[in-house]
Amino acid sequence: MARIPDAFIDELLARTDIVEVVGGRVPLKRQGKEYSACCPFHDERSPSFTVSPTKQFYHCFGCGAHGTALSFLMNYDRLEFLDAVEELARRTGMEVPRETQQRNENNDTRDLFNALEAAARFFQRNLDTSDKAKAYLDGRGVDAAIRTQFMIGYAPDGYSALKDALGTDERRMKLLDRAGLFSKNDRGHVYDKFRDRVMFPIHDRRGRVIAFGGRVLQKDDGPKYLNSPETALFHKGRELYGLWQVKQANQKIARLVVVEGYMDVVSLFQFGVKEAVATLGTATTPEHAELLFRNAPDVYFCFDGDAAGQRAAWRALESVLPRMKDGRQAFFLFLPDGEDPDTIVRQEGAAGFDARLQQATPLSQFFFDELAKDIKLSTLDGKARLAERARPLLAQIPDGAFGDLMRQRLTEITGVGAGSTVPSAPAPARRPSPSQAGQKPSLVRSIIVRLLHKPALALSIESTHGFSALRLAGMDLLLEVIALVHARPDITTGVLLEHFAEREEVVALQKLAMQDLPGDEENWRLEVLDAAVQLEKQMLQQRLDELQAKQRSMGLDEADKYELRTLLQARIGRH
Ligand SMILES: [Zn+2]
């Protein structure tokens, strides 16, 4: 995939007005310097969503949603990063930079998409003429509308139906091969990969066919599901079957139901559960988890109730855990022996299936049940073992209420906190040290807050050399912000915050960015410069203290003495 230079993104966002982008989708009301609205990302009656034209970012005080015009498009229009970039570029009349090689690849990619599309149409045409494939879908209750919506087709029996129809020249043969539609025997003979199967095209997030899944008609006719191999366009660990259709069917996706097979997805749709997607013959990967939660806050995983199902569910849990930000929920539904979502929805209808989802096991419960499975919790050893198993997993949960509750639950079950290793002694509550309490905001903080309001102010700090070695809370962060702005002078507040999106500092940074700061840009510039000078003084003092301490303990060498003299003179000069 093409990497887009940061400088281009910065310029793109500098030329974009977030108020226009958001305002085109959500009615905004002007309030002082900012705009407000009811948050489009959570349900609310009174507006807690604000858009700042000067800082070029949005922020919701209710659910914590925040970001730039780019992330707004990704979240609101559910676009992938590159698509969101292209959308903004189109609005501003900028061209997304691509290398020449990339351009050739693009032509190539287009040909590959076309070949897959042609194959999908070929399979669809063959469904019309295959009585047994139609009988199969009729038997499953899949009607014409759903067949069209999912572009369901049929790959004829025999070894060369597709090859004969579409592989008319060398170039097309190569494309079909790269699209994963052929197999090769050990004598090098090329033949159709999918034969006598009902064909389910797999769409990417823009609705283009990128691969196929084929399902046998009769139970004992080879593997039940056969997928396209990995190709340039298809990586099964990153795709979800049905996601395109779910997006088409729902304005706002409240939940996603993850099932095992294509037929499950299609049946659920047919019976009115239009939120189902399937992983493609793989366990739920971290990429899947990310994709799921990017599209819906609640995710339900359906598995067989047997041991294999439990194992698969645990794999899904492991992928999901590091993505359990606040506001996200995961549930596990285990189906009775011999049933799958397809059979259940046909027997019980959407309401019955829905009722089962309501009863699904929350992630927290599944987590502790599974970990404690073979443990005797009545013993001290058992409790210690559970705590031992839980700790590394709990550490992966992002900061927030959910993580806190999970750790609290562990303590309730075992009496052992997630962080400590000593069972009985409870950790003392953290209190700010007396020196910190009641102090005015630190110099570091006062610079950071101004840089967050106007990043370009960092450019007036020509060098951080004079204070970078100061051992102060937040110094690393300050240095990072300054370096970032020097590297990307056009950076907006929104992009700056985005840079820290995955880090724990982001919450504090957001708060600072939202603060009402008296004065104007020129005041802030002087305040920043003044604070920098004071920091430099502190650093001189820190070094002086060090040298004097060394003088007392072990004596100074010539270089130290020279440095000490210079520092003392500099201090006199400054006073
Ligand atoms: Zn919100």
Model pLDDT for residues 247-271, shown as the tens digit of each residue: 888 878 899 999 988 999 999 999 9
- Are residue 210 and residue 256 in the same domain, yes or no? no
* Cβ 563 vs Cβ 547: under 8 Å: yes
Sign of the Cα pseudo-torsion (484, 488, 489, 493, in order)? negative
Q: Measured in angstroms, how far is the CA atom of residue 487 from the centroid of ligand 1?
A: 32
- Cα of 213 to ligand 1 centre, how many Å? 38
Would you say the C-alpha torsion 267, 273, 277, 282 has a positive or negative sign? negative
Mean per-residue pLDDT, 375-394: 89
523's CB contacts (< 8 A; 6+ apart) are none
If you measure from the C-alpha of residue 64 to the centroid of ligand 1, how many angstroms do you get, rounded to a whole number?
Answer: 6
Average pLDDT over residues 168-185: 90
479-488 pLDDT, tens per residue?
Answer: 999 999 988 8
Of the two residues 219 and 4, the one the predictor is more confident about is: 4
Query: Where would I find the H helices in 140-222?
Result: 144-149, 161-166, 170-178
Position 8 scores a pLDDT of 85
SS3 238: helix
Q: Do 253 and 344 reside in the same domain of the chain?
A: yes
User: End of a domain among 342, 367, 392?
Assistant: 367
Q: How far is the CA of 40 from the centre of ligand 1 (A)?
A: 7
Higher pLDDT, 415 or 439: 415
C-alpha–C-alpha distance, residues 459 and 467, integer Å: 16
Q: Could you tell me the pTM of the whole model?
A: 0.60
569 to 379, 532, 536, 539, 561: CA distances (angstroms): 68, 20, 15, 15, 12
Residue 499 falls inside a structural domain: yes
The alpha carbon of 326 and the centre of ligand 1 are apart by a number of angstroms equal to 12
Pick from 137-146, 149-158, 374-383: least confident: 374-383
Question: 362 C-alpha to center of ligand 1: Å?
Answer: 23
pLDDT at 195: 93
pLDDT band at 211 (very low <50, low <70, confident <90, very high): very high
58 Cα: distance to centroid of ligand 1 (angstroms): 10
* Chosen domain end from 234, 268, 291: 234
**Proportion of the chain above pLDDT 90, given as a percent:** 41
Domain span including residue 527:
434-574
Whether residues 296 and 325 share a domain: the answer is yes
Q: Looking at the structure, do residues 154 and 44 belong to the same domain, yes or no? A: no
Centroid of ligand 1 to alpha carbon of 198 (angstroms): 43
Domain shared by 228 and 258, yes or no: no
* d(CA 38, ligand 1 centre) in Å: 8
Ligand 1 centroid vs 43 CA: distance in angstroms?
A: 7
Task: Tell me, in angstroms, the distance from the centre of ligand 1 to residue 79's CA.
Answer: 19
Do residues 181 and 268 both lie within one domain? no
Judged against a pLDDT cut of 80, whether residue 324 lies above it is answered with yes
Q: What is the 248 CA–ligand 1 centroid distance (Å)?
A: 23
CATH number at residue 558: 1.10.860.10
pLDDT, tens digit, for every residue of 500-518? 877 778 888 888 898 888 8
Q: Do 441 and 568 sit in the same domain of this protein?
A: yes
Within this chain, do residues 399 and 508 fall inside the same structural domain, yes or no? no
Domain boundary among 69, 101, 133: 101
Write down the pLDDT at residue 99: 54
pLDDT at residue 419 greater than cutoff 60: no
Q: What is the pLDDT of residue 248?
A: 86
Does the structure show a pLDDT above 80 at 418?
A: no
CA of 432 to the centre of ligand 1 (A): 31
What percentage of the chain has pLDDT greater than the value 70?
A: 92
Report whether pLDDT(427) > 80. no
| Residue 429, domain member (yes or no) | no
Cα of 66 from ligand 1 centre, angstroms: 9
- How far apart are the C-alpha atoms of 369 and 550, rounded to whole Å? 58
328 CA distance to ligand 1 middle (Å): 13
| Residue 519: strand, helix, or coil | coil
Count how many domains the chain has: 5
Q: How far is the CA of 36 from the centre of ligand 1 (A)?
A: 11
Residues 118 and 56 grouped into a single domain:
no
Residues 454 and 570 in one domain: yes
Q: In this structure, is residue 451 part of a structural domain?
A: yes
Kindly tell me if the per-residue pLDDT of 523 is higher than 60: yes
| Residue at 65 is within a domain | yes
Residues 63 and 80 in one domain: yes
Give the model's confidence band at 426: pLDDT under 50 very low, under 70 low, under 90 confident, else very high. very low
pLDDT reported for residue 96 = 85
Residue 239 in any domain: the answer is no
37-90 confidence digits (pLDDT tens): 999 988 888 899 999 988 889 998 888 888 999 999 988 888 888 888 988 998
Averaged confidence pLDDT in the chain: 86
Query: What's the gap in Å between 467 CA and the centre of ligand 1?
Result: 39
Question: Does residue 320 sit in the same domain as residue 338?
Answer: yes
Strands 255-259 and 209-216: unpaired
HSE at residue 74, side-chain half, CA atoms within 13 A, is: 14
**Does residue 31 surpass a pLDDT of 90?**
no
Cα–ligand 1 centroid distance for 60 (angstroms): 5
